[in-house]
A and B are shown apart, each in its own frame.
Chain A
Amino acid sequence: MFLYNLRLALLSLRRDPVLTALMIGAVAIGIGMSTTTLAVYHTMSGNPISWKGDQLYAVQMDNWGPSQPYNEPDEPPPQVTYRDGQALMKAAKAKDQNLSFTTSFVLQSDKPDVKPDLVQARATYTSFFTMFDVPFEYGGGWSKQADQDAQQVVVLSNAYNEKLFGGTNSVGKEVVLNNRRFQVVGVMKPWNPMPKFFDAQDDQFGEPEDLFVPLNLIGPMQLHNNGNNSCWGPPANNSFQGHLDSECVWLQFWAELPTQADRDDYHAFLDAYVQEQKKLGRFPRPVHNELHDVPDWLAYNHVVSKDSEALVGLSFMFLAVCMLNTIGLILAKFLRRSGEIGLRRAVGASKTALFYQYLVETSVIGISGGILGLVLGWAGLIGVRHLIEDSDHLARLDWTMVGISLLIALVSSMLAGLYPAWRVVRIPPAIYLKVQ
């Protein structure tokens, strides 16, 4: 029966090729446009560490000046100071915790004729690799001892290992960074969480840094922060150490807190810490500490661009127009066949059978429009990559998105087909038989 209906549908669609093309084209363009915008939105609003994102908490402490909040209304800064970050690391009150910031190194080759290279790096603790489940190709993170002693060890990104060592196992080899020799202890597998949740202040859709080194090298090597830096009040003195002791916020602090009890304890610990600091004359504002898990944190930092949100809204309105268009055309087409329908009803076809037949016809339009729409959406994403710089990771189609778009295509075209099919089988046969 299905095959028979399908044959009828194809026959009917072939009878009016221009109209069929218009209907399928409208569905396809609507689906294509919404797929493109939704795919970008989907990546932007993704949870890159969904399996434990609700256990990882970004820590905020309000160390800001007395007269103005960091952000209206009364928002604490999104990053922490060096001294608070180090104090929280030392206290080690969470299951695990991590402090990091983004910096850069000049990497020099042993070969004198090779030009030096400025490489983006993240200075951090070894907990970074375990807390954020960083996958390793070779070796692994450095030891806790290396953290404490500020050893000159480095973890390379997969791409940078490819560039420096041709992708071979480089663990144990040396690289020269800012004129110091570093030992490679690990090479990551390709790792690109999207959005880059662990540092939501800078370049949220960029790739992670290429080098990872112990944060405690900051003193001996005078490492500078490359990311966002915000200050209130003048530094105690104008020196490198002065900046470390200042109220400037520029480091990211994360705590791993698996249970609600852990979170409550940690919150209490933070409050006590701030009370303690208040005695030293710091933290002039009321105690205001906040913990955000990964999805919350991405929302708090407005990772999803407003343009993307607006485009999703507009493209779904656009899809609605395409669907109204198709409903109108299908309806007109079916109504023109009223005579035929009347005849079939008169010779005994049931309403259900006819309804089923017309639903198959509209589904054919919907599914072909949907598939063509996916192709258009895919082409649209290529277009977006050309339009927006560094958006290769942003404009992509994963299997979830393919599923979602097919579902949208199917559901919207079924809805579009339902009304005309229902309308047309309600035609009383007698009227149309009269004129035959």
Chain B
Amino acid sequence: MEIRPILSAMLRNKTGAILIALQIALTLAIVCNAMFIIHDRTSKMARDTGMDVNDIFVMTMAAYKPDYNADSAVHANLDLLRSIPGVVDATYSQSVPLSGGGWSDGATTTPDEHPKSTVDMGVYHMDEHALNTLGVKLIEGRDFTHEEISYIDGDKYTTPKLAIVTKAFGEKLWPGQDALGKTFYEGTSGLTVIGVVDTMEGTWSHWEGFERTVIFPTVLESEYMRYLVRALPGQRDEVMKVAEQKLGAAHTGNFVRSIHSLEYYRKSETSNDRAMTVMLSLVTALILAITALGIVGLASFSVRQRTRQIGTRRALGARRIDIVRYFITENWLITTMGVVLGSVMTVALNFWLVQLYDLPHIAWYYIPVGILCLWALGLLAVLGPALKAAAIPPAIATRNV
């Protein structure tokens, strides 16, 4: 196939070719970067949290009676929850995992009132039922015992002496060493690691330290108490109804302020990510459709405009396949110009997004995969008009002359 006659024909109608090439370039830039962001978000959403997210629900209680006693209420509430059939376990928890709201602090390996740099960690205050309720895996050491839990007034908080930490936290604070038995510091207060758990995602999914979680054996007693409850698989929704009704009628001076599944918190925390994924998928689908239709439209025009030339070529001995090949090659040349320019645009757009989001750069293979897709798209789009061109009878050439 000679490219030269195609090129010289294209040069005589530069504008049409340039318009399509530009369109393809922009399409490549948008699609590659959209796919890159979609991948980033979906992998974030699909991440293993280390917890039994589907079976856990969260209850928030608020005091309303003047004679409310936080200490007796928390014990009565949790005993009642653990006695409900279908409940695996329940724990007090100061914050809700995956919800986007919680407690964070800085840890150091040596006591220092004003440390220069700290390892940030997500802090949970929970009781000895925490690991069983969350369903996280203890890989080293042991769980808290009942005696180790301190029940204190929320306004009189002091740092406890023990902690259970995630593997990720240990690796960051003591790289290459075993965290078990070591002591870390919150300011000048030391905490000894008695247990190490595998993955346990913290509360801020967008934070780079989302896996650096520690559990403190403290119940902070106040007018507001929060409980995490794990139900038997598949029984969560029924157990939630029973729990709401039973705690509502418990006469502990507090009422059920809210009750939601952990799934609910996770969904609302990731709703922006989901929205972004949907919007970008829509953009990608529409832009591919519009570009494809644009190619079809312009190719049809050029077929109609060159009807007589095609007839002449056919009359002079060109086969149908030659005509099809002509249009496909012409389109391929335009697409290729587009994707070359588009690769540059993809990188430029990615620079802007990386600067905006603080993300790593787009992986190199997005661009060749994108190029292959646009070649295929161009081929499919031009096939219809090209076949129509091939169907033009040679006799056309004799008309109108």
- A residues with a Cβ closer than 8 A to B are 19, 22, 26, 29, 33, 37, 65-68, 106, 108, 115-116, 118, 179, 222, 224, 232-234, 238-240, 242-243, 305-307, 309-311, 313-315, 317-318, 320-322, 324-325, 327-329, 331-333, 335-336, 384, 387-389, 423, 435
CB distance from B353 to the nearest CB of A (A): 6
Could you tell me if B158 and A238 are in contact, using CB atoms closer than 8 angstroms? yes
Could you tell me if A224 and B222 are in contact, using CB atoms closer than 8 angstroms? yes
Could you tell me if B400 and A325 are in contact, using CB atoms closer than 8 angstroms? no
Interface string of B204-224 (1 = CB under 8 A from A): 000000000000000000110
Residues of A within 8 A of B117 (CB): 68
Rounded to whole angstroms, the CA-CA distance of A66 and B113 in the bound complex is: 10
CB distance from B62 to the nearest CB of A (A): 5
Return the chain B residue nearest A231 by Cβ.
B105
Q: Which among B135-143, B171-179, B283-291, B371-379 touches the partner chain? A: B283-291
Could you tell me if B271 and A387 are in contact, using CB atoms closer than 8 angstroms? yes
CB distance from B171 to the nearest CB of A (A): 23
Return the chain A residue nearest B154 by Cβ.
A224
CB distance from B297 to the nearest CB of A (A): 5
Interface string of B247-281 (1 = CB under 8 A from A): 01000000101000000000010011011101110
Rounded to whole angstroms, the CA-CA distance of A398 and B217 in the bound complex is: 51
Could you tell me if A314 and B26 are in contact, using CB atoms closer than 8 angstroms? no
Residues of B within 8 A of A238 (CB): 155-158
Could you tell me if B283 and A307 are in contact, using CB atoms closer than 8 angstroms? no
Residue B63, interface by CB 8 Å: yes
Choose among B30, B65, B66, B114 the residue that contacts A321 (Cβ–Cβ < 8 A): B30
Return 6 A-B CB contacts under 8 Å, by A number. Answer: A106-B63, A224-B223, A317-B26, A328-B23, A388-B272, A389-B271
Rounded to whole angstroms, the CA-CA distance of A166 and B322 in the bound complex is: 80
Could you tell me if A116 and B64 are in contact, using CB atoms closer than 8 angstroms? yes
Residues of B within 8 A of A243 (CB): 155
Could you tell me if A328 and B19 are in contact, using CB atoms closer than 8 angstroms? yes
Rounded to whole angstroms, the CA-CA distance of A305 and B272 in the bound complex is: 10
Could you tell me if A327 and B19 are in contact, using CB atoms closer than 8 angstroms? yes
Choose among B222, B223, B255, B356 the residue that contacts A306 (Cβ–Cβ < 8 A): B356
Residues of A within 8 A of B287 (CB): 318, 321
Residues of A within 8 A of B268 (CB): 389
Known contacts A387-B274, A423-B15; A310 and B116 CB within 8 A of each other: no
Residues of B within 8 A of A115 (CB): 248, 255
Could you tell me if B275 and A332 are in contact, using CB atoms closer than 8 angstroms? no
Could you tell me if B272 and A307 are in contact, using CB atoms closer than 8 angstroms? yes
Choose among B19, B66, B118, B274 the residue that contacts A331 (Cβ–Cβ < 8 A): B19
Rounded to whole angstroms, the CA-CA distance of A387 and B141 in the bound complex is: 43
Q: Which among B45-53, B232-240, B298-306, B312-320 touches the partner chain? A: B298-306
Rounded to whole angstroms, the CA-CA distance of A328 and B113 in the bound complex is: 68
Extra contacts besides A314-B30, A324-B26, A388-B271 (19): CB < 8 Å: A29-B286, A68-B118, A106-B64, A106-B223, A108-B64, A116-B255, A179-B64, A179-B66, A224-B222, A233-B187, A306-B357, A307-B276, A310-B357, A314-B34, A317-B30, A318-B30, A321-B287, A328-B19, A335-B305
Could you tell me if A314 and B298 are in contact, using CB atoms closer than 8 angstroms? no
Residues of B within 8 A of A68 (CB): 114-118
Closest 6 CB pairs of A and B: A387-B275, A332-B301, A325-B294, A328-B19, A238-B156, A116-B64
Residues of B within 8 A of A65 (CB): 114
Residues of B within 8 A of A239 (CB): 155-156
Could you tell me if B62 and A118 are in contact, using CB atoms closer than 8 angstroms? yes
Choose among B33, B37, B114 the residue that contacts A233 (Cβ–Cβ < 8 A): B114
Residues of B within 8 A of A19 (CB): 297
Residue B352, interface by CB 8 Å: yes
Those of B1-41 within 8 Å (CB) of chain A: 15-16, 19-20, 22-23, 26-27, 29-30, 33-34, 37
Could you tell me if B257 and A321 are in contact, using CB atoms closer than 8 angstroms? no
Residue B293, interface by CB 8 Å: yes
Q: How large is the interface on B (under 10, 10 to 19, 20 to 34, 35 or more residues)?
A: 35 or more
Rounded to whole angstroms, the CA-CA distance of A310 and B37 in the bound complex is: 10
Residues of B within 8 A of A333 (CB): 301
Rounded to whole angstroms, the CA-CA distance of A69 and B298 in the bound complex is: 60
Return the chain B residue nearest A176 by Cβ.
B64
Residues of B within 8 A of A317 (CB): 26, 29-30, 349
Rounded to whole angstroms, the CA-CA distance of A106 and B349 in the bound complex is: 51
Could you tell me if A29 and B290 are in contact, using CB atoms closer than 8 angstroms? yes
CB distance from A244 to the nearest CB of B (A): 10
Could you tell me if A332 and B114 are in contact, using CB atoms closer than 8 angstroms? no
Rounded to whole angstroms, the CA-CA distance of A322 and B289 in the bound complex is: 11
Choose among B62, B115, B352, B400 the residue that contacts A313 (Cβ–Cβ < 8 A): B352
Could you tell me if A384 and B275 are in contact, using CB atoms closer than 8 angstroms? yes
Known contacts A68-B116, A388-B272, A389-B268; A328 and B158 CB within 8 A of each other: no
Residues of A within 8 A of B305 (CB): 335-336
Residues of A within 8 A of B157 (CB): 238
Rounded to whole angstroms, the CA-CA distance of A343 and B20 in the bound complex is: 30
Residues of A within 8 A of B297 (CB): 19, 22, 328-329, 332
Could you tell me if B276 and A321 are in contact, using CB atoms closer than 8 angstroms? no
Return the chain A residue nearest B155 by Cβ.
A240
Could you tell me if A315 and B115 are in contact, using CB atoms closer than 8 angstroms? no
Return the chain A residue nearest B296 by Cβ.
A22
Could you tell me if B298 and A322 are in contact, using CB atoms closer than 8 angstroms? no
Residues of A within 8 A of B294 (CB): 22, 26, 324-325, 328-329
Residues of A within 8 A of B116 (CB): 67-68
CB distance from A107 to the nearest CB of B (A): 9
Rounded to whole angstroms, the CA-CA distance of A239 and B152 in the bound complex is: 11
Choose among B16, B66, B222, B255 the residue that contacts A328 (Cβ–Cβ < 8 A): B16
Rounded to whole angstroms, the CA-CA distance of A22 and B37 in the bound complex is: 29
Rounded to whole angstroms, the CA-CA distance of A224 and B23 in the bound complex is: 57
Could you tell me if B280 and A328 are in contact, using CB atoms closer than 8 angstroms? no
Choose among B113, B187, B283, B298 the residue that contacts A33 (Cβ–Cβ < 8 A): B283
Interface string of B158-180 (1 = CB under 8 A from A): 10000000000000000000000
Choose among B272, B275, B290 the residue that contacts A322 (Cβ–Cβ < 8 A): B290
Could you tell me if A331 and B15 are in contact, using CB atoms closer than 8 angstroms? yes
Rounded to whole angstroms, the CA-CA distance of A259 and B352 in the bound complex is: 38
Rounded to whole angstroms, the CA-CA distance of A118 and B223 in the bound complex is: 11
Known contacts A67-B116, A329-B294, A336-B305; A310 and B272 CB within 8 A of each other: no
Residues of A within 8 A of B22 (CB): 324
Return the chain A residue nearest B105 by Cβ.
A231
Residues of A within 8 A of B113 (CB): 233-234
Could you tell me if B286 and A318 are in contact, using CB atoms closer than 8 angstroms? yes
Interface string of B171-211 (1 = CB under 8 A from A): 00000000000000001100000000000000000000000
Known contacts A116-B255, A389-B271; A324 and B15 CB within 8 A of each other: no
CB distance from B190 to the nearest CB of A (A): 14
Return the chain B residue nearest A240 by Cβ.
B155
CB distance from A188 to the nearest CB of B (A): 24
Residues of A within 8 A of B64 (CB): 106, 108, 116, 179
Residues of B within 8 A of A332 (CB): 16, 297-298, 301-302
CB distance from A322 to the nearest CB of B (A): 6
Residues of A within 8 A of B302 (CB): 332
Residues of A within 8 A of B115 (CB): 67-68
CB distance from A163 to the nearest CB of B (A): 16
Rounded to whole angstroms, the CA-CA distance of A179 and B115 in the bound complex is: 44
